[in-house]
């Protein structure tokens, strides 16, 4: 009992489909990143890590007179809005950059495939 095999060549990828696919994959990765950061932030917040960091930084930034000479507010650094906002900005940049890089990569593949003929693959039928 032998299985059938097909030898195919991927000689072109459509840049529009590469862009759509990479956008959806980047969007899913953004959602995973955002949920992971939110869960980790909530866990660390419940454990009191941010309160301890804030009190430690406040103690380090205080001058000899017991007042904050630099005018910094460590409590604002670890606020949920700031952490999740920065996560959103980084995720949005990742979506744009990954989509653009994948699309450019698809176009470069087409240029190289015109020169060398593409990638040969062999498909076999499952039994």
User: What residues have CB less than 8 Å from 3, skipping those under 6 apart?
Assistant: 124, 125, 126, 127
Does the pLDDT of residue 113 top 90, yes or no?
Answer: yes
CB 51 within 8 A of CB 75: no
Quickly state the pLDDT bin for 5 (edges 50, 70, 90): confident
pLDDT score of 60: 78
Handedness of CA 21, 24, 28, 33 (dihedral sign): positive
Quickly state the pLDDT bin for 43 (edges 50, 70, 90): very high
Rounded Cα gap, residues 48 and 62, in angstroms: 21
Output the pTM of the full model. 0.77
Quickly state the pLDDT bin for 55 (edges 50, 70, 90): confident
pLDDT score of 16: 96
pLDDT score of 64: 57
pLDDT score of 101: 97
Q: Which residue has the tokens 């190289």?
A: 112
Residues 37-54: what's their mean pLDDT? 92
Tokens linked to 26 = 């980047």
Does the pLDDT of residue 83 top 80, yes or no?
Answer: yes
Does the pLDDT of residue 12 top 80, yes or no?
Answer: yes
């Amino acid at each position: 009992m032998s299985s059938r095999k097909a030898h195919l060549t991927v000689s072109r990828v459509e840049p529009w489909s590469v862009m759509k696919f990479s956008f959806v994959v980047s969007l899913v990765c953004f959602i995973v990143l955002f949920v992971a950061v939110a869960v980790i932030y909530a866990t660390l917040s419940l454990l009191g890590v941010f309160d301890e960091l804030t009190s430690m930084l406040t103690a380090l930034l205080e001058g000899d007179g017991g007042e904050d000479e630099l005018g910094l507010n460590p409590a604002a650094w670890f606020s949920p809005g700031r952490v999740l906002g920065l996560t959103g900005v980084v995720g949005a940049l990742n979506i744009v950059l990954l989509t653009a890089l994948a699309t450019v990569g698809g176009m470069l593949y087409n240029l190289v495939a015109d020169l060398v003929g593409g990638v040969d693959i062999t498909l076999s039928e499952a039994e």
